[in-house]
C-alpha cells in the first residue's frame, strides 16, 4: 500500500529550501533578527516549480516580469506582469513557472509582527484577499505597479540594513501596502447596500471563530466545529439573532456559511492532498466517510470520487 502524503506546512525558518533556487544571504546586523518574523526578497530567486503546500505565515508578492500558474486554494490564476498577489496561512497554494525571467518582490511576515503595537488585532484576519474564498490577485496598471514597487524597494532597503528602529518602519510600510490594496479591492467590488456596523462586526466575529476551528487541519489535527448555538453563546448573542443577522447580510444562514467553507477545504484536500477520501473525511471531522460523500454531493452535485476523476487525480 502506498503511503499517503500530507500537504506540507512550510514554516518561516524552513520555507526557503522549497521556494528559492539558492538560499538568500543573511542581511547585515543579524542581532536585530530575533523578534517577530519579517522578510522581503526579490522574486527572481523563486524555483520554477513549487508543489502544493501551506504556509504558517502571510505572503504578498508583486510581479513586474515573468509568467506562471499560481494556485490559491481552489482558484488557478495565470500570473504575469502588473499583478499583486496574497497568500494567507490557511490557504493551499502552488506555483509553476511559464517563463525563465522573473522579476518582482516577495514579502513574508507573521501575524505577530504585523500586530505588534496595533489596537486592531483582527485586521489581517478580516482581509478578504487572505481568505480561501477571496480574490487573491489584484490587477494593476503600470502606474500602480510603480507605486507598489517603490514600497517594496523601500522595505527591502530597510530590511537589508535592519537596526533597532527598523521594525516600526517596516510595519508602517506593510500597513500602507495592505490598506492601499484593500482600498483598491473595495473600489473594484460592485456597490451594495452597506450592512449596519453592529451586524457586520458580528458576521466578522462569527467567521473568525469558525475559521479558527477549521484551521486545525493545517497542523494535521482533525477539525472539530461547534454547533451554531455554541458559537452564538461564545459571541454573547442568541442563535436566532446570529442566524437572522448573518442571513440579512449574506443571504445565507450561519450553518450554510460553515458548510460552504468546509466544502472548500474538502475540495482543496481532494485536489492537492495525496490522501484517501476516507482519510480526508476523518480529518474534516466526519465520523463516517459515506456521510462525508453524501455531504459533499449535496453541496457540489458530485461525489468526492467524481470530483477527483474529473480532474484526473
CA–CA separation, 42 and 62 (whole Å):
9
The mean pLDDT of 217-246, rounded to a whole number, is 84
pLDDT for res 191: 40
pLDDT for res 110: 93
Query: What is the pLDDT confidence band of residue 190, given thresholds at 50, 70 and 90?
Result: very low
Backbone angles phi, psi at 198, to 5 degrees: -65, -45
Tell me the pLDDT tens digit for each residue of 43-54: 988 999 999 888
The yes-or-no verdict on residue 42 having pLDDT over 70 is yes
User: Going from the N-terminus, what domains does the chain have, and what CATH number goes with each?
Assistant: 9-188 (2.60.120.280), 197-310 (1.10.10.60)
Helix (H) or strand (E) holding 72: strand 68-72
CA–CA separation, 208 and 234 (whole Å):
12
Return the bridge partners of 97, or none. Answer: 68
Question: HSE-up of 288 (CA within 13 Å, CB side)?
Answer: 4
Query: CA separation (Å) from 298 to 171, 264, 302?
Result: 44, 13, 8
CA–CA separation, 190 and 213 (whole Å):
31
Within 57-165, residue ranges assigned H as helices are 111-115, 123-126, 142-160
Amino acid at each position: 500500500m502506498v503511503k499517503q502524503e500530507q500537504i506540507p506546512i512550510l514554516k518561516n525558518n524552513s520555507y526557503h529550501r522549497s521556494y528559492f533556487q539558492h538560499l538568500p544571504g543573511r542581511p547585515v546586523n543579524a542581532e536585530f533578527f530575533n523578534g517577530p518574523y519579517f522578510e522581503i526578497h526579490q522574486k527572481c530567486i523563486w524555483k520554477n516549480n513549487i508543489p502544493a503546500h501551506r504556509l504558517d505565515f502571510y505572503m504578498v508578492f508583486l510581479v513586474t516580469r515573468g509568467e506562471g500558474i499560481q494556485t490559491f486554494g481552489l482558484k488557478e490564476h495565470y500570473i504575469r506582469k502588473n499583478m499583486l498577489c496574497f497568500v494567507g496561512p490557511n490557504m493551499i497554494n502552488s506555483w509553476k513557472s511559464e517563463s525563465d525571467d522573473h522579476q518582482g518582490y516577495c514579502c513574508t511576515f507573521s501575524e505577530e509582527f504585523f500586530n505588534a503595537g496595533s489596537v486592531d488585532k483582527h485586521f489581517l484576519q478580516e482581509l478578504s484577499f487572505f481568505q480561501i474564498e477571496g480574490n487573491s490577485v489584484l490587477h494593476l496598471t503600470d502606474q500602480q505597479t510603480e507605486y507598489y514597487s517603490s514600497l517594496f524597494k523601500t522595505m527591502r532597503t530597510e530590511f537589508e540594513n535592519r537596526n533597532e528602529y527598523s521594525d516600526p518602519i517596516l510595519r508602517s510600510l506593510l500597513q500602507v501596502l495592505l490598506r492601499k490594496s484593500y482600498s483598491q479591492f473595495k473600489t473594484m467590488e460592485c456597490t451594495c447596500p452597506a450592512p449596519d456596523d453592529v451586524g457586520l462586526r458580528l458576521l466578522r466575529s462569527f467567521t473568525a471563530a469558525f475559521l479558527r476551528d477549521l484551521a486545525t487541519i493545517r497542523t494535521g489535527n482533525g477539525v472539530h466545529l461547534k454547533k451554531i448555538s455554541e458559537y452564538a453563546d461564545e459571541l454573547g448573542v442568541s442563535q436566532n439573532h446570529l442566524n437572522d443577522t448573518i442571513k440579512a447580510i449574506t443571504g445565507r444562514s450561519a450553518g450554510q456559511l460553515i458548510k460552504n467553507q468546509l466544502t472548500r477545504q474538502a475540495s482543496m484536500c481532494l485536489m492537492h492532498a495525496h490522501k484517501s477520501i476516507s482519510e480526508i473525511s476523518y480529518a474534516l471531522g466526519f465520523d463516517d466517510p459515506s456521510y462525508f460523500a453524501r455531504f459533499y454531493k449535496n453541496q457540489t452535485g458530485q461525489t468526492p470520487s467524481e470530483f477527483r476523476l474529473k480532474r484526473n487525480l
